[in-house]
Structure 1
Amino acid sequence: MKQLSRLTAFFLFMFSLAGCAATQGAAVIEAPTVVKTSPVASPPFAEGISGLAAIDGNTYLVVHDALSFEDDPRLSIMIVSAKSGAVFEPLVVDDWRDPDGRPSDLESVCMVPGRENEFLIAESGYWQGKYGRLFHLRLDRATRKAEVLGVTKLPKLADNNSEQVGDQYEGVACMVSSGSGLVLVLGERGGSPAFPSGVLRWAKLELEPLSLSFTKEGLEGLTVEAPGNWSDSLKNRDISDLYIDPLGNLWISACEDPGDSGPFYSVVFRAGSIVTGGPAPVVLESEPVAVAKVEGLKVEGLAEPSEEVAAGGMCIGSDDEVYGGVSRFLRHH
């Protein structure tokens, strides 16, 4: 949960610009593209990227983790081109169709299989019993608007409040199960006393009306331990986003966040592969290996490559707190 105000973050960001000439980088990343924000949004600095999902070959839906009391964008379209880099255009939602109102701390997004321009977005969890929602959206790219088709609740295993860090869902992925049903995979980030390790949970997903049905096994989930050179293996976040590629590989980003000014560190690794008809929708690697180690960035978005970056692999997006956020493309793996 973010507790630092945007105003404080802005002044810290300006101070960092005045005090250092070098920016944080990631040695393994190619095809750098500076994140640009739409003039319509006019934020004080580039919005952090909390989740990514591809819309088409060069366009992505982005979620931002603005809190309930903040007026910053919740959703953006990111358009990638080899010439201009990445440009953000904010999306408008006129009605969130829930008594708790607009989202607070969106952290993940995924496409709905077989449904063009339909996506699921999720908040990180509950705050003092409120929020903790999954939204079903349909995009209208011509008007730069999104319509909420349904809202349901995520499982509440541990509430977030001023006394404790509870559920922190940072990744969602949607897959077709046997019999053409849908399964939602939900990634608990880990790194807290309540959940020291990452956990993949899963549920049967119904769209009309939107609902989640967890079995006992799905709610308990599978433990994920991210590979990486962590400063404190009890506090790193084993899951910061999920991405299922066209071959059925499950990729996960993980990160380390010592504070709003960093230094940050992230990895991307193949966690396993999806299966249908088994006791779990995922078979995990026994010893996953990081395919990318990203110094200086807190990767929270992971999505498919862009057609505009010919030599590029997966797209990553970062939420670097007071520094804003960037998008980059990994090497092919």
Structure 2
Amino acid sequence: MQLRHKSLLSAALVTLALAAPARAGAPAESAPRTGGWQQVGDDATSGVSGLALSGRAAGDGAVEALVVHDNKKPGQQRISRVTFRPSAPKDTKVTPFAWDGMEPKDLEAIEAVPGTDGEFMALASRGLVYRLHVDGDTARVLDLTPLPAIPEGADFESFALGTSAHGKTVAVWADRGAGTGRPATVFAAPFSFNEYGEAEFGNVRKAEFRAAYPKGDMRHVSDISVTKSGRIMVSSASDAGDDGPFASAVSEAGRVSLNAKGSAATLRIAAQRSAPDRFDGRKIEAVECLPGADGRALLGTDDENLGGFVKSASVCGG
């Protein structure tokens, strides 16, 4: 397989708007659960750094998602599937996947590609985006592309894809920011594939975002999800060390849209108008707004030495 590395410099529009799995391991029912959180990993290699919806089981609101892990050493788990059953915790399961291709370091987000069957984009923290095809329990690398216009010192934890009313796709991602001195920078650009299957980004727009909560050891944007209407939902997290304490919040950061031709994006980052949804004791690094009108999302945590947890919550509005 030949991977093409391109330097893409363009400029786009955006406001704000995925990931890691649980360790390939035992079913989640063996782990303790508190406040509706279900444990899907029990150590620092099995946290959820990003997740993407991959299917819904019939009946009880069960959700299937691919999760990525931010592991860095060769041979460690990179991607898994979580089957989350909120009404039947003992049936929540984690299935490890094989990674076929150039092994990444520090995967932080994953997103399904709209209009495809089994294709996903996974982002590493330094800005490399892996195009994956998932078949069975294997994720095969199809291509590798850097994000455009990567700022010096950037650390990315989020990547999302949204679809406009015209069927065009927009990409939204963010440098996570750090503490009071460095807000997150949110980027947005039209997104497509060229004739060689390489990801291409159009003109990039950017805007700053500061989370109102939590305080201290702040990552202003730890993940992004874009709703059908273009609302950008972000998670923010506080990480004081491998044993915590942790705190997180989910809030609306703004809106993103594309023009009819899909050639330009508009990004609006809004001043926070309402209190964020708070989740103390957890470090949320994955948020995926689910289809439907109830505003529910699947949340995932990377609680370092405490492992990884998932939970559904109504944080995406109506």
TM-score range, shorter chain: 0.7 to 0.9
From 272, 279, 299, the equivalent of 2:254 is 272
Return the match for 1:225 from 194, 207, 210.
Answer: 210
Aligned ranges for residues 1-333 of structure 1 at < 5 Å?
A: 31-35=36-40, 47-57=46-56, 58-67=63-72, 69-81=73-85, 82-83=87-88, 84=90, 86-94=92-100, 96=101, 101-125=102-126, 132-140=127-135, 143-155=136-148, 157-158=150-151, 166-177=153-164, 180-191=167-178, 196-208=182-194, 209-213=197-201, 215=203, 217-218=204-205, 221-231=206-216, 235-277=217-259, 280-305=265-290, 313-331=296-314, 333=317
The structure showing larger relative contact order (alpha-carbon pairs under 8 Å, at least 6 residues apart) is 2
Contact kept? 1:24, 1:296, Cα under 8 Å: no
Measured in 2, the distance between the counterparts of 1:225 and 1:85 equals 38
1:85–1:290 Cα change, 3 Å: farther
Amino acid at match of 2:186: L
Q: Deviations over 1:52-90 (max 9, x none)?
A: 1111121001010010x2422101111112322531111
SS at match of 1:275: strand
State whether residues 113 and 161 of structure 2, in contact with CA within 8 Å, keep that contact through their aligned partners in structure 1: yes
How far residue 134 of structure 1 moved from its aligned partner, in angstroms, is 0.5
For 2:309 and 2:291, the matched residues in 1 are separated by 15
RMSD across aligned C-alpha pairs, in angstroms?
Answer: 2.8
Amino acid at match of 2:302: D
Q: How much has 1:229 moved relative to structure 2?
A: 4.1
Aligned with 1:322: secondary structure? Answer: helix
Which AA in structure 1 matches 2:54?
I
1:194-231 residue CA offsets vs partner (Å, 9 max, x unmatched): x811111123323243233353x52xx11111121413
Poorly superposed stretches of 4+, deviation over 6 Å:
none
Alignment CA distance shift 1:205-1:283 (3 Å): same
Kept in 1, the 8 Å contact 2:50–2:109? The answer is yes
- Structure 1: unaligned runs, 5 residues or longer: 1-22, 38-42, 126-131, 160-165
* Aligned-partner Cα distance in 2 for 1:52–1:70: 21
> Shift in Å at residue 149 of structure 1?
2.0
Q: Residues 52 and 212 from structure 1, CA distance in 2 versus in 1: closer, same or farther, beyond 3 angstroms?
A: same
Once residues 258 and 190 of structure 2 are traced to their aligned partners in structure 1, the CA distance between those partners, rounded to angstroms, is: 12
1:321 Cα deviation after fit: 0.7
Partner deviation per Cα, 1:241-281 (whole Å, 9 max, x = no partner): 01112333211000011211110110000112232229643
Give a deviation string over 1:2-53, Cα, whole Å, max 9, x none: xxxxxxxxxxxxxxxxxxxxx896xxx5x33232x6xxxxx86771000011
SS at match of 2:121: strand
Larger fraction in helix: 1
Map of 1:9 onto structure 2:
none
Distance 1:229 1:205 in 2: 32
Q: How far apart are the structure 1 equivalents of 2:313 and 2:131?
A: 29
Unaligned runs of 5+ in 2: 1-31, 57-62
Q: Would the alpha carbon gap of residues 306 and 321 (structure 1) be closer, same or farther in structure 2, given more than 3 Å must change?
A: farther
CA 1:306–1:80: 2 relative to 1, 3 Å: farther
Would you say how many aligned residue pairs link Structure 1 and Structure 2? 271
Change (3 A) 1:124 1:44: closer
Q: 1:192 to 1:265 in 2, by over 3 A?
A: closer
Write the deviation string for residues 81-119 of structure 1: whole angstroms up to 9, x where unpaired.
Answer: 23225311111122x2xxxx3000000111111112211
Q: Which residue of 1 aligns with 2:60?
A: none
